[in-house]
Structure 1
Amino acid sequence: MSHHQVANLASLLSQTAALFPERAGLIQGERVWTWREIDARVNALVQGLRSLGVKAGDKMLVQSRNNAALFESCWAAFRLGAVWVPTNFRLTPPEIAYLGSSSEATVMLAEDCFASHVDAVQEASSRLRHVVTIGKARDGEIGYESLVAANLGAPHEAAEVEADTPLWYFYTSGTTGRPKAAMLTHGQMAFVVTNHLADLIPGTDENDRSIAVAPLSHGAGIHALLNVARGAATVLLPSDKLEPEIFWQLVEAHRVSNVFTVPTIVKMLVEDPAVDRYDHSSLRYMIYAGAPMYRADQKRALQKLGKVLVQYFGLGEVTGCITVLPPSMHAAEDTDPNANVGSCGRPRTGMQVAILDDQMQPVPAGTVGEICCRGPAVFAGYFNNPEATEKALRGGWFHTGDLGRMDDRGLLYITGRESDMYISGGSNVYPREVEEVLLTHPGVAEVAVLGMPDEKWGEIGVAVIVASHSGLTAEALLAHLDGRCAKYRWPRHFLFWDSLPKSGYGKVTKKDIRTRLIERGELQPAVHA
């Protein structure tokens, strides 16, 4: 671990505010926040949090939909030398309670519509000392806006940090069922921001505009950092529902040049008739990540938008920096040598990608093995989880758990996953998390959840159930999941079988379940590029 001082990542915001004080930094509906205003509000929030006793190293849990406060809160955490712990706002109170207690958060910022999530965290965690509410505060809570207002005019004070000082716990679900906090650091993120600017949105400057369509708690939040670094404003949607018509209206109105999203959303946006009614000629980079994209969807997007697609492959632990397929390596015609059909691109600048076998030896080009990488984008490990850290970083490489091959030009092709994770609408779903909740229903004796290909969502979950009594219905199981498990994880299909196939060790074998589903015509075989 390196123990030298580095720039506090929050300097990206202060530098931009000094350079472009009167330019727009954040836009939502009619409201425009200038860089000067955002920077001053962040300073006020830092001062306000310090006055509450929040200090460097403390963890700040944030439960909010996309809004100005969520956008500001990360910069305040970084500037404080604290750790930003944003959640996926769609998770249920019990799921958030686990994130609050496992991250050891001492302060929670929450939008007022998430009161039951706040209560759940307070019940689960003895460490939580302060709740700052975005909107209307309840008794014992502190209003976000009043905390900022009371401290406006506070001087700029950024904590001294080292390369390995954590700044963000990026929660990633694990195959083991419980989500893990990947520790992102100031040194790592300085590289990541630079790398993303070089590889994803090269040439971006203060005249550009970005639009956030996904929650700022994960990939879209990383993407927002890049635009702040360059002084490009971020446009937030007026509500948390993505409506294609409104998206294209905003692209035209604000001359939006870049957006970070996922394949299912790209598909939805370009299939909507509104795409033809608005001027989107300003759009230079439509970045998609988080899942493979079906070739037909890729072609349609290229036909509608031109050469603006950028694909990247990465995980939270390496903050997206594994490979990139830039606009020049996409083409609508399969015969075009630049089409690179089925590839997720070349290694990211400054990163090394290798395909390793079980003995952690590199395999020849064209051979399938585990996709591994190393370089400055690799995280500092999982918080409070040395076993998982050791496993992920064994042999000096970060192990993705994805299977793939590289061609002789160094382009990567993903062929599958070691785990039974599937990706629905761009979100990772780990079946074991869902299976554990379903097994708490008294009528469920055994269960297996697996992903199946789906035109709209990429993949969807199918649950195969062995019931302990007759009369168990899909409706009863969905009612059981309600409030215990985020909706995006719910299986779309429930099948009831008399028994599940088992290995010689008595372990349920998903491979055999998949085969049986295909044989019975209950599941289409997956098509890999």
Structure 2
Amino acid sequence: MQKPWEKYHSPEALTFDKTNIGNQTLAQMCREASRTYGDRPALTTMLPTGAQTTITYAELDALSDQFAGYLREDIGLAAGETVALMSPNCIGFCVASMGIAKAGCINTNVNPLYTAQELEHQLTDGNAKALVIVDLFGDKVDQVVGHTNVKHVVTLSLVDFFPMLKKAFLGFVLKRVRKVVPDISTPHVRMSDALARGRKSIAGKDVAAYAKQVKPSDTALLQYTSGTTGRSKGAELSHSGVLLNAHQGYLMVEDEVKDGAETALIALPLYHITAYVLIFILGMKLGSHAVLAPSPRPPSNLKAAFEKYTITWFTGVNTLFAALLAEPWFDRRMFENLRFCGSGGAAQQTGVALKWQERTGIGINQGYGMTEISGVLTLNPPSDNRFGKVGIPVPGAEIRIVDDDGYEVPLGAPGEVIARSPTLMKGYVNRPDATEEALRDGWLYTGDIGVMDADGFLEIVDRKKDMILVSGFNVSPGEIEDVISTVPGVIQVGVIGIPDDKTGETPVAFVVCVDEGPTEDAILGACREVLTNYKIPRQVRFVDAVPVTLTGKVLRRQLREDYLN
């Protein structure tokens, strides 16, 4: 019996089969892209100033081979060991990522805005043996690596792969004029030197042999995701899961994209699963040209990319779309070649979507997904884009809406969204308890409350458990509470998110203190020492009590009712 949403699926989508994917590993996919697209532009690093540099698919293939050789031959990593990659969007990120896959190693993408403490947790939990880090944040290395198993550090730069003279000039400006590149005392190797060493090491060797024993079911990524009760957890994502999710996304928009003819502006961070799988990996499979923006903030950083390139593919979050609409340089002509515009990571406000469509002539197709599913789970089909909905299940994925006992609820009734897909994670590394809670009988229990209509379109009506969504980033209230609880004089603390015009939501801390306890500045100062900026509460409210369960768990819903209504 055909499901109601399957009327939107193509014949290939209706017969979706995970064995239909020709490229079974990321390494094989990269090599096939080189064979197919060769001298076509693959990646461009676009700086806010308009300075840019580009490499082809053939060059990406060769450079990632060299980096694989460096990892295996020069520093002696073994297949299956973990390499951490901490970088904003740039060519170096992509070269390193594909090199890690070709080396037969596991990649763990790290948010470059992480504090030293957050970085240390991920390096330790993922047992990383090497770290590739952008030089802009290299000072964190000195604070961290001595407490981890990391033995090798590679620094990359936003100006890597620029012509020699331009690279030297831009590097001088960053280091000596703007002074944004700190000194690093920890022994390290620059990416350019690592590639040179790797190039010599692989002479006469079969680089493909490094990953010959890697199976599609083997782990490709340890992708970390915030939990509501504390530190982030590493979801084990397989090669086949990543590639299949990219293909699921493609099947949803195949009429809107063309092989070898797309130019995608990647403003969302590649260390996030959405951009990594659904823009970078899918783009490589399609032979797209990826224009990499290291940071979309301020939005004027994207102006040069829109002016210099014919952008046909653009994905953002609600706050980015809203910010772009307010830019004085925003011009409909920059978007007249867009064929697809997607949104994910946070709720897309209908008002912003309507204004975007009015100004650009193209709708924003909202989707819904999560790290644990390797990316996208539902997406609005371009032929029936419904604002306020997150779309229909992608081909090969199943969704149920269930009550607290696991029984399906009637159409139109709210319940927990549970899902299964061939792209589902294996589990959380080192966290069998969390894995058992999330995965039950092959189904992922998302914790999100949703409603499905008669056509199979899903609407998310409540946030994932207690997660706070700040500009599309998941923020764990438990992590913030852990930090504030260490401040002398704090008795209790509860953190929730409240609406914010600029970021969607913002964390607010409710704190119970002893008499003459810490000030708001003291509490925020403690947060700044260990938390990324977007996790820091924008308000601290001192209260008489924080509602908790008998076991001490913060009752966040009651906290909202007590103090926000």
TM over 0.5: yes
**Which among 41, 49, 59 is matched to residue 63 of structure 2?**
41
| Equivalent in the alignment of 2:501 | 455
Deviations 1:277-309 (A, max 9, x none): 752211222211011122211111111122341
In 2, Cα distance between the equivalents of 1:432 and 1:356? 26
Q: Confirm or deny that 1:293 pairs with 2:355.
A: no
**Which among 349, 352, 364 is matched to residue 309 of structure 1?**
364
2:439 maps to amino acid: L
Contact 1:200 1:324 (8 Å CA) reproduced: no
**Which among 404, 407, 415 is matched to residue 361 of structure 1?**
407
2:194 maps to amino acid: L
**Which among 77, 91, 98 is matched to residue 54 of structure 1?**
77
The 5 A counterparts of 1:268-287 are 268-276=323-331, 278-287=333-342
| Equivalent in the alignment of 1:499 | 545
In 1, Cα distance between the equivalents of 2:491 and 2:374? 39
In 2, Cα distance between the equivalents of 1:133 and 1:30? 20
Q: Confirm or deny that 1:180 pairs with 2:180.
A: no
The 5 A counterparts of 1:6-17 are 7-17=24-34
Number of matched pairs? 507
Q: 1:371 to 1:292 in 2, by over 3 A?
A: same
In 1, Cα distance between the equivalents of 2:459 and 2:352? 18
Which shows bigger deviation, 321-330 or 171-180? 321-330
* DSSP-derived class of the 1:445 partner: strand
* DSSP-derived class of the 1:74 partner: helix
Deviations 1:365-389 (A, max 9, x none): 1121110111212111111222211
1:166 maps to amino acid: T
| Equivalent in the alignment of 1:157 | 208
**Which among 283, 295, 303 is matched to residue 240 of structure 1?**
295
1:18 maps to amino acid: R
The 5 A counterparts of 1:120-135 are 120-125=143-148, 127-135=149-157
In 2, Cα distance between the equivalents of 1:314 and 1:506? 31
Q: Confirm or deny that 1:189 pairs with 2:242.
A: yes
**Which among 164, 187, 191 is matched to residue 140 of structure 1?**
187
Q: 1:257 to 1:352 in 2, by over 3 A?
A: same
2:286 maps to amino acid: R
Deviations 1:166-205 (A, max 9, x none): 0111100112302111011112122112112222464332
* DSSP-derived class of the 1:27 partner: strand
1:206 maps to amino acid: G
In 1, Cα distance between the equivalents of 2:540 and 2:93? 37
The 5 A counterparts of 1:24-423 are 24-28=41-45, 29-51=51-73, 52-125=75-148, 127-135=149-157, 140-152=187-199, 154=202, 155-157=206-208, 159-160=211-212, 161-200=214-253, 202-218=256-272, 219-222=274-277, 223-237=279-293, 239-276=294-331, 278-330=333-385, 340-417=386-463, 419-423=465-469
Deviations 1:116-144 (A, max 9, x none): 3223432221x322112225875632222
Deviations 1:210-248 (A, max 9, x none): 1111221112222211111111111122x5353433424
* DSSP-derived class of the 2:334 partner: coil
2:227 maps to amino acid: G
In 2, Cα distance between the equivalents of 1:356 and 1:18? 46
Query: Percent identity between the aligned chains?
Result: 29
| Equivalent in the alignment of 2:12 | none
Aligned-residue offset at 1:47:
0.8
* DSSP-derived class of the 1:229 partner: helix
In 2, Cα distance between the equivalents of 1:150 and 1:174? 40
CA RMSD, 1 decimal: 2.3
2:193 maps to amino acid: S
Structure 2 unaligned spans of 5+: 1-17, 46-50, 158-182
Q: Confirm or deny that 1:445 pairs with 2:491.
A: yes
Contact 1:260 1:288 (8 Å CA) reproduced: yes
2:53 maps to amino acid: R
In 2, Cα distance between the equivalents of 1:439 and 1:382? 26
Contact 1:210 1:232 (8 Å CA) reproduced: yes
1:148 maps to amino acid: L
Q: Confirm or deny that 1:512 pairs with 2:565.
A: no
Contact 2:138 2:155 (8 Å CA) reproduced: no
* DSSP-derived class of the 1:163 partner: coil
* DSSP-derived class of the 1:491 partner: coil
Aligned-residue offset at 1:150:
2.7
Q: 1:384 to 1:139 in 2, by over 3 A?
A: closer
Q: Which has the higher contact order (CA 8 A, sep 6+)?
A: 2
| Equivalent in the alignment of 1:523 | none
**Which among 520, 524, 533 is matched to residue 487 of structure 1?**
533
Contact 2:220 2:239 (8 Å CA) reproduced: yes
TM-score calculated relative to the size of structure 2: 0.85
In 2, Cα distance between the equivalents of 1:298 and 1:192? 25
